[in-house]
C-alpha cells in the first residue's frame, strides 16, 4: 500500500474537502480494474457496428421499414445527450456506483431489445440502451482518471485504444455470424455476460474513496443540455436527412438547439452545482482539448464509416470481410496508442503526439482520396495503417492532458464533456459526409453513366449494395466509378477539418503530469 493510500484509509470519516487528492491504485489492482472498465467500454464501442450489420434481417422479421433509421438514431440521441449528466452525477455520488448503474441500464435495454416483437418496441429499447451507453465510455475514462496518475496513464492507454479497434472489427463479424446463425436477437443477448463481468470486477476490485460533500442537482441545466443536444441530433440524423437541410421543420430544430444552448450557458453561469462548470473553459488545456476533440471526432467517425463503405461497394466485400479488411487500421491505432503511451510515461510530455496525429490524419485522408476501383488491397491496407497511426496518436493523449489539468472534483464532468464533444463531432461529421456523398454521387453518376445506361438502373439501386453488385457488368462499372469519385470527395472534405485540428492543438499548453506520489498538486519534472 502506498503512502497516499495509507493516508486515505486512515483518514477520519468527517467530510473532506471536495478537491482532496485522489487515491491512486497499485499496478496489479489497476490491471484487474481495467478488465471491468474495458468490458463496459466494449459494450458501448461494439453496439453501433454490430447492430448495423443485422438491420436488414431485423426489418425482415419485425417489419416497420419506415422506422429503420430510428433504431440507430434512438441510441445516438439518448447516449450523446445523457453523457454530461453521467459525469456530473458521478462527481456527486461516487464513480463506481454510477458506472454500475450505467451498466445496469444498458443491460436492461439489451434485454428489452432482444425480446422486442415490433419495430417500435425495438426503438424504445434502443433508447434505454443509449441512456446507459452514454455513461459507459465517459465514466470508464473518468475512473481511469481517478485510479491512475496522469504520468503513469500512458502505460495503459494502449488497452483503451484496443477496445475501439477490436470493436470495429468484431462488430461486423459478430453481427454477421449471429444474424446468419442463432439469430439477430443474440446481438443483444451477448451483452449480458460482458456486462456481468464488468459488474463483478468493479464490485470486488474497484475501491475509490467517496468524497462526501453538500450538493444540489442542477435540474434546469440538465434539462436544457439534453434538449439542446437532442434538437441538434434530430436535425442531423433525422429531419435534415429525410426532409432536407433547409426545410422549415429542420431549421426549427436547428434554431431550437442554438437557443437552448444559449439558455444552457445562462443557467450554468448561475448554478450552484453546474452540470458542466463553465470555469473549465477558462483553462487553456480544457478549451483547446474540447475544440480538438470535436474536430477529430468529426474526422474519425466519418473515416470509420465510409472506408468500410468503399470496401463493400467498390470491392464487393461482405460486411464481415470488410471488418476483417479494416485490421490494418486497428493495428495502426494499437501500435500508436501503446507507443505514445509508453513515451508519455517515460518523458512526461504529451503535446507532440496529438500534433503529429493531426498532421498524419490529414495526410491519410489525402491518400484515401486517391483510391480508385482498381486499388490493390496492399495499397488500401497501407493507407489504413497510416491513418490508424494518426488516430492512435490522438485518441487518448488529449484526454490525459485534460484530466491532468482539471481539479479532481470536476474529473467526471470534464471527462464526460470530452466524450460528449467527440460524439457531437462524430454526429456532425457523419451528417456532413453523408450529404457530400449524396450530392457528389448524383453529380458523378451523370458524368459516368450514359443516359441510355441510366435508364436500365432501377430506382433506388444506388441505396442498396447488393442491388449494385447484381447489375450487369456494363452497367455496374460506371456506377461503381461514380461511387469511387464520390467517396474520394468525402475523404477530401475531411482534410480541412483535420488541418484545423492540427492548428488548434498547436496551442495546447503542456503541463507537467502529476505522478500521484504526493498531494494532488504535485507534478513530475519535465524530462
The confidence score (pLDDT) of residue 365 equals: 93
Mean pLDDT value across residues 431-441: 83
**Do 443 and 482 touch, CB atoms closer than 8 A?**
no
Counting every residue written for the chain, the total comes to 527
Q: What φ, ψ does residue 137 adopt, rounded to 5°? A: -70, -50
322 touches 312 (CB < 8 A): yes
CA dihedral 29, 414, 297, 379 (to 10 degrees): -30
CA separation for the pair 262, 259 (Å, rounded): 5
Mean pLDDT of the chain: 80
pLDDT top residue among 210 and 166: 166
User: Residue 18: pLDDT band by 50, 70, 90 thresholds?
Assistant: very low
Contacts of 175 (CB under 8 A, 6+ apart): 49, 50, 51, 52, 53, 54, 187, 319
Using CA atoms in the order 237, 242, 243, 245, what is the torsion angle rounded to 10 degrees? 40
Cell digits of residue 26: 497499485
Range of weakest confidence among 4-18, 329-343, 426-440: 4-18
How much is the pLDDT for 353? 92
Name, of 118-122, 255-259, 392-396, the range with top average pLDDT: 255-259
- Is 516 within 8 Å of 4 (Cβ atoms)? yes
What is the reported pLDDT for 350?
87
Phi then psi dihedrals of residue 510, to 5 deg: -100, 105
Instruction: Report the SS3 class of residue 24.
Output: coil
Q: Is the pLDDT of residue 523 over 50?
A: no
| 201 pLDDT more than 50 | yes
Percent of the chain with pLDDT over 90: 18
Residue 360: the pLDDT is 95
**What's the pLDDT at 83?**
84
CB 160 within 8 A of CB 308: no
Higher pLDDT, 497 or 525: 497
- Report d(CA 195, CA 94) in Å as an integer: 19
Across 46-57, average pLDDT: 74
Residue 200 has pLDDT above 60, yes or no: yes
| 99: confidence class by pLDDT, cuts 50, 70, 90 | confident
Amino acid at each position: 500500500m502506498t503512502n497516499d493510500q495509507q493516508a486515505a484509509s486512515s483518514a477520519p470519516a468527517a467530510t473532506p474537502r471536495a478537491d482532496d487528492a485522489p487515491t491512486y491504485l497499485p499496478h496489479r489492482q489497476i490491471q484487474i480494474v481495467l478488465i471491468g472498465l474495458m468490458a463496459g467500454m466494449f459494450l458501448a464501442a461494439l453496439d453501433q457496428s454490430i447492430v448495423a450489420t443485422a438491420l436488414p434481417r431485423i426489418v425482415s422479421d419485425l417489419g416497420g421499414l419506415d422506422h429503420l433509421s430510428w433504431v440507430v438514431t434512438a441510441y445516438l440521441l439518448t447516449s450523446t445527450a445523457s453523457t454530461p449528466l453521467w459525469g456530473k452525477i458521478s462527481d456527486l455520488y461516487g464513480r463506481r456506483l454510477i458506472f454500475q448503474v450505467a451498466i445496469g441500464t444498458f443491460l436492461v435495454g439489451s434485454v428489452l431489445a432482444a425480446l422486442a416483437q415490433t419495430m417500435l418496441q425495438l426503438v424504445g429499447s434502443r433508447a434505454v440502451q443509449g441512456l446507459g451507453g452514454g455513461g459507459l465510455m465517459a465514466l470508464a475514462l473518468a475512473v481511469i482518471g481517478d485510479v491512475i496518475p496522469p504520468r503513469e496513464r500512458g502505460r495503459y492507454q494502449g488497452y483503451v485504444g484496443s477496445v475501439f479497434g477490436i470493436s470495429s472489427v468484431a462488430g461486423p463479424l459478430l453481427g454477421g455470424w449471429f444474424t446468419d446463425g442463432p439469430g439477430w436477437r443474440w446481438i443483444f443477448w451477448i451483452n449480458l455476460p460482458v456486462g456481468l463481468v464488468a459488474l463483478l470486477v468493479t464490485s470486488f476490485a474497484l475501491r475509490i474513496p467517496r468524497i462526501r460533500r453538500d450538493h444540489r442537482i442542477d435540474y434546469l441545466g440538465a434539462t436544457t443540455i439534453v434538449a439542446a443536444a437532442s434538437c441538434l441530433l434530430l436535425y442531423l440524423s433525422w429531419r435534415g436527412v429525410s426532409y432536407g437541410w433547409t426545410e422549415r421543420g429542420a431549421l426549427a430544430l436547428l434554431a431550437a438547439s442554438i437557443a437552448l444552448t444559449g439558455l444552457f450557458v445562462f443557467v450554468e453561469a448561475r448554478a450552484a452545482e453546474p452540470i458542466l462548470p463553465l470555469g473549465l473553459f477558462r483553462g487553456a488545456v480544457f478549451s483547446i482539448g474540447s475544440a480538438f476533440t470535436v474536430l477529430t471526432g468529426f474526422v474519425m467517425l466519418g473515416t470509420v464509416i465510409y472506408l468500410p463503405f468503399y470496401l463493400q461497394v467498390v470491392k464487393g466485400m461482405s460486411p464481415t470481410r470488410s471488418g476483417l479488411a479494416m485490421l490494418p487500421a486497428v493495428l495502426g491505432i494499437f501500435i500508436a496508442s501503446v507507443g505514445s503511451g509508453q513515451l508519455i510515461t517515460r518523458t512526461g510530455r504529451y503535446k507532440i503526439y496529438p500534433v503529429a496525429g493531426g498532421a498524419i490524419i490529414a495526410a491519410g485522408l489525402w491518400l484515401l482520396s486517391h483510391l480508385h476501383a482498381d486499388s490493390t488491397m496492399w495499397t488500401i491496407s497501407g493507407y489504413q495503417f497510416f491513418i490508424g497511426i494518426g488516430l492512435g496518436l490522438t485518441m487518448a493523449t488529449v484526454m490525459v492532458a485534460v484530466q491532468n489539468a482539471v481539479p479532481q472534483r470536476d474529473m467526471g464532468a470534464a471527462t464526460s464533456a470530452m466524450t460528449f464533444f467527440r460524439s457531437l463531432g462524430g454526429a456532425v461529421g457523419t451528417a456532413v459526409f453523408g450529404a457530400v456523398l449524396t450530392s457528389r454521387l448524383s453529380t458523378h453518376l451523370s458524368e459516368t453513366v450514359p443516359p441510355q445506361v441510366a435508364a436500365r438502373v432501377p430506382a433506388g439501386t444506388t441505396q442498396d449494395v447488393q442491388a449494385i453488385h447484381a447489375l450487369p457488368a456494363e452497367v455496374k462499372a460506371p456506377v461503381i466509378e461514380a461511387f469511387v469519385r464520390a467517396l474520394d470527395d468525402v475523404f477530401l472534405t475531411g482534410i480541412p477539418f483535420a488541418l484545423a485540428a492540427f492548428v488548434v492543438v498547436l496551442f495546447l499548453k503542456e503541463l507537467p503530469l502529476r505522478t500521484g506520489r504526493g498531494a494532488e498538486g504535485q507534478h513530475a519534472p519535465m524530462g
